[in-house]
Amino acid sequence: MIMFIIRRIASMLGVLFALTVALFGLQELSGVDPARAYVGANASAEALERTRVQLGLDQPAIVRYFDYLGGLLHGDLQNSLRTRTPVAEGLSTAFPATVELALWSLGLALVLGSIFAVLTVTRWKGAGIVRVVLLSGASAPTFLLTMLGLLFFYGQLGLLPSGGRSSFGSTSPGPTGLFVLDGLLAGRVDVATDAIWHLILPAACVAISPAVAIGRVLVDGLRINLVSDHARTARSAGMPEGLVMLRHAVRNSLGATLSMIGIQAGLLLGGLVVVEKIVSWPGVGSYLDKSVQASDFPGIAGVALLLGVVYVVLNTLVDLLQVAADRRLVLS
């Protein structure tokens, strides 16, 4: 186990190194001038040149790259060219927002995917309707779904808020930065409820597509396992159908489902970038979007590195969970 984790950490470092090279290369090839974004559109050529020197942009790319890498090794993600504050500081407030939305989206995807799978396998009469609704939702682009959701649930019905994270300001009342959890920890049920209300629309829109993907894999697994020899034996021994489903079908279907959850969790992060912009969610996606608009390389690189770490950690967790779910598997 320890060797497995060490290997994963080593591979993560490799991924992050490759990311920095790719990002730096793309920045160089793009022809974008970060100094111009930094100093403002009307700035004179002299001011622009001074800024280039100030930001070290007059140095050869290789020198700037190793400067950046050196800072990174000391935990310095540099200052954002956009906000003029440390990137780490900006991400420390944006990341919890994204984590909260991602967790709710993934949780909702699991619930919806499970309902979809169980209703399909048990051939419940209304399963067709659920399937049509979920498949329709998953077929629509996430941004369109979110826009339509806003128009209907906010514009027409007034049931859900138009965007943002909370009606109680942008500061979380607790230590984690997760409004629902912090609200509950601080005894502020109103803050927690309000946060849930802000989460419903974006989380649901992000969750639908992964829910269908997870549900489909689970359906396949359940179908195979429900007619397997061990399920048949359990039934003949008098085990109730519900227990057969839980102990034999669900558990044995978990391996493939967990793999799919891992893949979908990674893809879900991509969907969040778009949704965050639409609902003004102050997360990493919004941070990235604004950084790209401002040609803010430290900001872009900071987000990319953070998401790289999250992606590797997620996959490691999924691997560990798969082994926990199926003892026949061995970490390698």
Partner 1 sequence: MIQSPTPRRARPTRLRTRVLTAAALVAASALALTACAPSTGGDAFASGDTFKVVLLGAYSTPPDPDVNYDGPGLNIIQNTYEGLVAYEDGSTTATIVPKLATDWTVSDDSLTYTFDLRKGVTFHDGTDFTADAVIASFARRTSVDAGPAYMVGDVTGVTAIDDYTVEVTLAAPNSAFLDYLASPFGVKMISPTVLSEQAGDDFAQTYLTDADAGTGPYELGSVTTGQSYQLTAYDKYWGDKPEFTTVDLTLSENASAVQLQLERGEIDAVLGDVNKTSFEDYSSNADLDASTFANFTTQTVFMNPQSAIFTTTENRAALFSAIDTKTILESSMGELEVPTTQLFPAGMLDESLDSQGVEYDPNALASLAASGIAAGKTIRIGYAGSSPDGKAVADELGANLSSAGLPAESISYGAGTIYGLADDLAAAPDIVVMSVFPDAAHVDAWARILYTPKGGLDVMAAEVPGLTDDLDAALLASDNEPYGAIAKKVIDSKYWYSIGSLQTTTITRSGLTGIDDARNLLEYNVLHFAALGNA
Binding to partner 1 (CB under 8 A) within 48-107 occurs at 48, 50-51, 80, 82-85, 90, 93
Of the pair 40, 270, the CB lying nearest partner 1 is at 40
- CA dist., res. 15 & res. 222, Å (int): 35
Among residues 91, 118, 258, 268, which is the contact residue for partner 1, using CB under 8 A? 118
Q: How far is the CB of 223 from partner 1 (least distance, A)?
A: 7
CA 57 to chain centre: 33
Where in 142-161 is the site for partner 1 (CB under 8 A)?
147, 150-151, 154-155, 158-161
- CA dist., res. 126 & res. 34, Å (int): 56
The candidate with the shortest Cα–Cα distance to 154, out of 103, 190, 109, 202, is: 202
Question: Is 239 one of the binding residues for partner 1 (CB under 8 A)?
Answer: no
Q: How far is the CB of 199 from partner 1 (least distance, A)?
A: 11
Question: Is 42 one of the binding residues for partner 1 (CB under 8 A)?
Answer: yes
Of the pair 78, 316, the CB lying nearest partner 1 is at 78
Torsion angle in degrees (nearest 10) through CA of 122, 126, 127, 132: 170
Q: How far is the CB of 59 from partner 1 (least distance, A)?
A: 18
Among residues 91, 226, 305, 310, which is the contact residue for partner 1, using CB under 8 A? 226
Of the pair 294, 318, the CB lying nearest partner 1 is at 294
- In our burial notation (b when 16+ CB lie closer than 10 A, e otherwise), range 129-154 reads ebbeebeebbeeebeebbeebbeebb
Q: How far is the CB of 37 from partner 1 (least distance, A)?
A: 5
Residues 6+ apart with CB under 8 A from 215: 112, 113, 114, 115, 116, 117, 120, 134
Output the six-digit token pair for 10: 């080593």
Q: How far is the CB of 57 from partner 1 (least distance, A)?
A: 12
Q: How far is the CB of 33 from partner 1 (least distance, A)?
A: 5
Contact 81, 52 (CB under 8 A): no
Question: Is 32 one of the binding residues for partner 1 (CB under 8 A)?
Answer: yes
Contact 79, 298 (CB under 8 A): yes
Contact 182, 83 (CB under 8 A): no
Among residues 131, 188, 235, 247, which is the contact residue for partner 1, using CB under 8 A? 235
Number of residues that bind partner 1 (CB under 8 A): 77
Binding mask 282-311 for partner 1 (x = CB under 8 A): x---x--xx--xxx----------------
Q: How far is the CB of 230 from partner 1 (least distance, A)?
A: 12
Residues 6+ apart with CB under 8 A from 200: 160
Q: How far is the CB of 202 from partner 1 (least distance, A)?
A: 12
Q: How far is the CB of 158 from partner 1 (least distance, A)?
A: 5
Neighbours of 79 (CB within 10 A): 18
Where in 157-216 is the site for partner 1 (CB under 8 A)?
158-164, 167, 169-170, 190, 193-194, 196-197
- CA dist., res. 83 & res. 217, Å (int): 44
Contact 202, 101 (CB under 8 A): yes
Of the pair 146, 315, the CB lying nearest partner 1 is at 146
